[in-house]
A and B are shown apart, each in its own frame.
Chain A
């Protein structure tokens, strides 16, 4: 997909999609389409996940044992595949969250150094 320079959307950082998926699922099962929508909504339309990468990512997480998938019926009465966290996925989410906050702090210190002798 081409992107025009004025497109406000942000590109996802490498490796963060998995974390976002785990995070979206922490409150319960969601189907693939719902996960994409949730990422968009919760990022206030700034993040838009390409379906071409969302679905393979979901399958990758299932394969690693962090998610489980099962067919169910959506809120609009459509047949859909639902994903939910496994206990291993929950542990992974905690690890990723921890790693993410460390990363943000570290990058933040470099990008926005605290002015010396602020007080």
Chain B
């Protein structure tokens, strides 16, 4: 319907032809006929434009003009394919990294929780900074006090975890972590069932029927979303429970669990210790703000309730522990551990983007200098400054849009990687997706880059005296352009330096952590989880089981020793933080000081020999240290040194402090062992009290010392344990070295991710420096030719160019160093924590960058020294 431009042209031509024809028929000669017809017609262009305007509005013209510019840009970019590809890939890396990190940040820090009215959902926490515990948990009497007194919180939900052996769904017995909750928990959390129902007020108390709800993750991954699970009866620990429903997908906080059960399923929760002992803190507490109440109001009120509890029960609140209470929204609580890491990542991604942009700016700048003569011709033909800018903008837009598109394609796999990574810090990262807002971000970054890039090149001077002479085919580099190129290259080096130092710090930390002496023999010891048997066997059965297991595994070939205990170092995090107060015979705490808090570890005989912890005085536990023999203990070197500096620890007695709630029976110290820290992989002096498990506790971990490769023993050990009890779960066999590696995974990931960023930055920076020097050398061919002609040695020219590279690198490193100091200072002001990197990462990063810069200037330097004198002099 709409005639196109060709149609309009045709119409005009045919009208002219008819007019000419008429005149010729009237007897005019063809030449004057043509002239007359053209004169009569008037301006063809004006007529065409007027016709065009009838059909197409003004905006259409502007856009089609722009598209034409884009087409021209595309064509001219296709001619310089190498440059275009470099630019696009660089931008794609920058934009992809930003998009991926941004999606994770958004899902963790910004996206709402699925919980109903999440901003009224409170997380209440006991803290005890005095004993280094951020999460001190609550006891049932404390929770009852708060329920009865708080008016700003309409309902409380409590949650604690228990490890149960689960038998059911036609699968092997398996140890699961179960959440044990009260009837109002799900109501408080504001969660809904995906299937069946959740635990409600009717399931509270010791008389209720045992019921369990499956978490969505467990249901989908292990049970393959079996829709028939509701109503099934499973064996959960000591008793049976009926599955009543499946929970909707939600953030697994405070702990990742497989099932959530009511209180009646756990005998421990019904017991007197749990119900009546104020010190028995193992429960997490959630609350829902009452209508009209505010977070601040609730915090103030709960602090007051806490203060009155401390006043009423001073014996349960050690002054030294400085027990306090805090209230946050659940959302803040979940996001906060990830905030620092994510903001750091975001900063790293932004730095990569800056590097990418300055690199691209350099390339574009170099290119625009090469085409200055083209622009000068266009300017001479009457193109306005605006028109020239528009051409540049169209070109950079093409580059940036393609770069952004590629970057967003790249973002999808990157998000998956980044989400898995960030999930170590906040479970919410797993919800990260690439979606519209990320597309928006990518488009925004592309626009920013495009506009920046379009304004980087200098337009040809409109001052005629200065104009480039298009007749000369070469190009000349102005001091201004050269300076700009070098500034961009220096920026890249500076940013890369920051990233490399950061990465270096993390690598150094990781390295220190993974090689630190732990006090254990790392490589030869196999640790196996052997949780209490599903039959709920009593003490005697457990003892028999472990004695039998120790004997039979000890007879396996390749086994040097077998021991048992309750804690696999670093892995059993619940245990490793637990400290109890002990009183020691002959040690009197200074005034106002409490009895020392020590870790306490029930272990079997030969535990120290198997784990490679040397005994420095006295004797090891033996099989004779049974339940009815004399109560004995072994202490760590730190205990012996701090409390008995004169070396008289052996044969002294120790007992549980009355406030720990355990029987304060005197136990004779029979030995002293070296410190071994099962909480931190970098050992700190640890006060530990070891007791024979036959006298206290119940073993659940088996340690096997192997002569050869410990992994080779796993099948035999598992078989032996199953021979003794077919329903016994045997889990997570690993050497202590494996455990440490696993524990260090977050650090390793940090180091890896930042190293990756640093590597990308380094790569881009090397390309940048090489590009700038190559360009500058190319532009100075004549200069080098003259220098060579007047007797300059090629060696000197090489040194000169290398020197230029070195100057860029030095300036960049200096700028990066100053920036780093400023950043550290700012981080210290903002977050209160700032760590200056050690000398090694700084020196390493500087050396790496300097080496890379020299390497990058090598090729241009060689080129400079090989300039053909005659050709160089002839070229202009």
Contact = CB atoms under 8 A, between A and B. Distances in A.
- On whether the two chains bind one another, the answer is yes
Interface string A43-87: 000000011110110011001000001000010101111000000
A32 B17 contact: no
Interface stretch (B45-53, B237-245, B700-708): B45-53
A55 B18 contact: no
B21 interface: yes
Of B15, B17, B41, B55, most buried by chain A (CB within 10 Å of CB) is B15
A53 B55 CA distance: 15
Contacts of A99: none
Contact of B15 (A55, A63, A76): A55
B200 to A, nearest CB: 70
B51 A51 contact: no
A55 B11 contact: yes
Given A51-B40, A52-B46, A33 B54 contact: no
Of B3, B10, B18, B41, most buried by chain A (CB within 10 Å of CB) is B18
B15 A56 contact: no
Interface in A1-16: 1
Given A51-B47, A78-B21, A56 B14 contact: no
B42 A50 contact: yes
Of A31, A52, A76, most buried by chain B (CB within 10 Å of CB) is A52
B824 interface: no
Contacts of B47: 51-52, 55-56
A33 B11 CA distance: 10
A98 B19 CA distance: 34
Given A51-B41, A52-B43, A78 B54 contact: no
A81 B11 contact: yes
A78 B10 CA distance: 12
B44 to A, nearest CB: 9
B12 interface: yes
Given A31-B18, A78-B17, A81-B14, A56 B41 contact: no
Contacts of B11: 32, 55, 81
A79 B14 contact: yes
Contacts of B50: 52-53, 55-56
A79 B12 CA distance: 11
A33 B42 contact: no
Nearest to B15: A33
Given A1-B42, A52-B46, A80 B14 contact: yes
Contact of B55 (A1, A55, A63, A79): A63
A66 to B, nearest CB: 13
B58 to A, nearest CB: 15
B730 to A, nearest CB: 84
Interface string A12-52: 00000000000000000001110001000000000000111
Contacts of A50: 42
Contacts of A56: 47, 50-51, 53-54
Given A51-B41, A55-B47, A33 B53 contact: no
B21 A59 contact: no
Interface string A95-119: 0000000000000000000000000
A59 B55 CA distance: 8
B51 A76 contact: no
A80 B21 CA distance: 13
Nearest to B18: A33
B231 to A, nearest CB: 71
Contacts of B22: 37
Contacts of B53: 56
Contact of B51 (A31, A37, A59): A59
Nearest to A81: B11
Contact of B54 (A1, A31, A59): A59
Contacts of B41: 51-52
Contacts of A81: 10-11, 14
A53 B53 CA distance: 12
Contacts of A63: 54-55
Contacts of B10: 79, 81
Nearest to A32: B15
A60 B11 CA distance: 15
Contacts of B54: 56, 59-60, 63
B642 to A, nearest CB: 97
A80 B11 CA distance: 7
Contacts of A31: 14-15, 18
B562 to A, nearest CB: 96
A78 B41 CA distance: 18
Contacts of B51: 55-56, 59
Interface in B30-80: 40-43, 46-47, 50-51, 53-55
A69 B46 CA distance: 21
A31 B13 CA distance: 13
Contact of A55 (B12, B17, B21, B40): B12
A37 B26 CA distance: 14
Nearest to B21: A76
A78 B18 contact: yes
A76 B3 contact: no
Contacts of A80: 14-15, 18
B56 to A, nearest CB: 11
Interface in B795-851: none
A31 B14 CA distance: 10
Contacts of B14: 31, 33, 78-81
B45 to A, nearest CB: 10
B3 A59 contact: yes
A107 B41 CA distance: 33
B12 A74 contact: no
A86 to B, nearest CB: 13
A12 B12 CA distance: 22
A9 B17 CA distance: 25
A78 B22 CA distance: 12
B380 to A, nearest CB: 30
A79 B9 CA distance: 13
Contacts of B55: 59, 63
Contacts of A55: 11-12, 15, 47, 50-51
Contacts of A33: 14-15, 18-19
Contacts of A78: 14, 17-18, 21
B18 A74 contact: yes
Nearest to A1: B42
Nearest to B54: A59
Contacts of B18: 31, 33, 74, 76, 78, 80
B17 to A, nearest CB: 6
A77 to B, nearest CB: 10
Interface string B215-229: 000000000000000
A52 B15 CA distance: 12
B403 to A, nearest CB: 41
A32 B13 CA distance: 11
Contacts of A52: 41-43, 46-47, 50
A31 B46 CA distance: 20
A62 to B, nearest CB: 8
Contact of A51 (B15, B17, B21): B15
A63 B57 CA distance: 13
A60 B3 CA distance: 12
Nearest to A76: B21
A63 B2 CA distance: 8
Interface string B849-868: 00000000000000000000
23 contacts: A1-B42, A32-B15, A33-B15, A33-B18, A37-B22, A50-B42, A52-B42, A52-B43, A53-B50, A55-B12, A55-B47, A55-B51, A56-B50, A56-B53, A59-B54, A59-B55, A63-B54, A69-B3, A78-B14, A78-B18, A79-B14, A80-B15, A80-B18
Interface of B: 3, 10-12, 14-15, 17-19, 21-22, 40-43, 46-47, 50-51, 53-55
Given A59-B3, A63-B54, 10 more contacts: A37-B22, A51-B40, A51-B42, A52-B42, A52-B50, A55-B51, A74-B18, A78-B14, A80-B14, A81-B14
**Interchain residue pairs A-B with the least CB separation, the first 4:** A56-B50, A59-B54, A33-B18, A33-B15
